[in-house]
């Protein structure tokens, strides 16, 4: 799965799953656009890591929940590298709380950042992909969008929306050799997991058949497969990578 001459945008790539995906693509010779919203130093570290391994990357600041900024991100990628083949919609936030205490802004922020950003980036990128009759779009959803999760009505709704969006867009663009798939991670060892209280972490282990949390690199390798030509006959699919929780 070599990505020679392929150009990839990864949103929310300064940390966690997005960082792992950007590094994985870079290690496979993709030219990577490392998107970030606030943490420029972390994004620059990802670029340096890709460059150190012989890859080609640059960082670009954009709040992809705003269409004009998502459009600017796609334009910057094409201006820099002359093409765009792969889009990974990974940018996301959580604002957890029971619906009785969830504010309207906490609902709106999550829907806008997680779901509207997916629409924004796809709309900005799809015209180029349609013209060249090739593209790989991967949306990083969550098992919360499959199963639901108490205290996450906003997050679960945003991720379920991504899954429905994935299926609909896959049908729209399949005739142009563009595939659209989603990955639904379970509990992954990221900054968010580190904030979960230790007793809660232990109780969650009981519902994971494999008995452990996943690693960002495990999501990244699946993203690399779905972005490769080896996955050319897979579209509209949601791949759960969750240690068996949702089976």
Read off the pLDDT of residues 113-122 as tens digits, 9 standing for 90 and up.
Answer: 999 999 999 9
Do residues 70 and 117 make contact, with C-beta atoms less than 8 angstroms apart? yes
pLDDT of 195 over the 80 cut: no
In the structure encoding, which two tokens stand for residue 189, read together?
């060892």
pLDDT of 100 over the 90 cut: yes
What mean pLDDT do residues 141-155 have?
A: 95
> What pTM was estimated for this model as a whole?
0.96
Q: What is the CA radius of gyration of the chain?
A: 17
- For residue 117, the Cα-to-chain-centroid distance in whole angstroms is 10
Give the span between the Cα atoms of 64 and 107, in whole angstroms. Answer: 17
In 82-197, which ranges are continuous DSSP H helix? 104-110, 117-132, 144-147, 153-173, 191-194
Do residues 236 and 212 make contact, with C-beta atoms less than 8 angstroms apart? no
What mean pLDDT do residues 131-135 have?
A: 97
Q: How confident is the model at residue 191 (pLDDT cuts 50, 70, 90)?
A: confident
Residue positions annotated with a catalytic role: 155
Domains and CATH numbers, the chain: 7-241 (3.40.50.720)
pLDDT of 245 over the 90 cut: yes
In the Cβ-directed half-sphere of 74, how many Cα atoms lie within 13 Å? 25
What mean pLDDT do residues 228-232 have?
A: 97
Provide φ and ψ at 105, rounded to 5°.
Answer: -65, -35
């Amino acid at each position: 799965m070599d990505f020679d001459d392929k150009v990839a945008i990864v949103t929310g790539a300064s940390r966690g799953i997005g960082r792992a995906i950007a590094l994985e693509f870079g290690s496979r010779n993709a030219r990577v656009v490392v998107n970030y919203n606030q943490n420029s130093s972390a994004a620059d570290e990802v670029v340096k890591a890709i460059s150190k391994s012989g890859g080609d990357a640059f960082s670009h600041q954009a709040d992809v929940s705003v269409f004009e900024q998502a459009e600017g991100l796609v334009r910057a990628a094409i201006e820099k590298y002359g093409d765009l083949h792969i889009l990974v919609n990974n940018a996301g936030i959580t604002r957890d709380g029971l619906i009785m205490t969830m504010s309207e802004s906490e609902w709106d922020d999550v829907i806008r950042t997680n779901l509207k950003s997916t629409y924004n980036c796809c709309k900005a990128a799809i015209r180029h992909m349609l013209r060249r009759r090739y593209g790989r779009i991967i949306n990083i959803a969550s098992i919360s969008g499959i199963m639901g999760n108490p205290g996450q009505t906003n997050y679960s709704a945003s991720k379920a929306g991504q899954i429905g969006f994935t299926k609909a867009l896959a049908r729209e663009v399949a005739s142009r050799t563009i595939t659209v798939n989603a990955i639904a991670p379970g509990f992954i060892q990221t900054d968010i997991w580190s904030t979960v209280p230790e007793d809660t972490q232990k109780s969650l282990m009981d519902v994971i058949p494999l008995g452990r949390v996943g690693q960002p690199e495990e999501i990244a390798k699946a993203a690399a497969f779905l972005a490769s030509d080896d996955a050319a006959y897979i579209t509209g699919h949601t791949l759960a990578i969750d240690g068996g929780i949702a089976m």
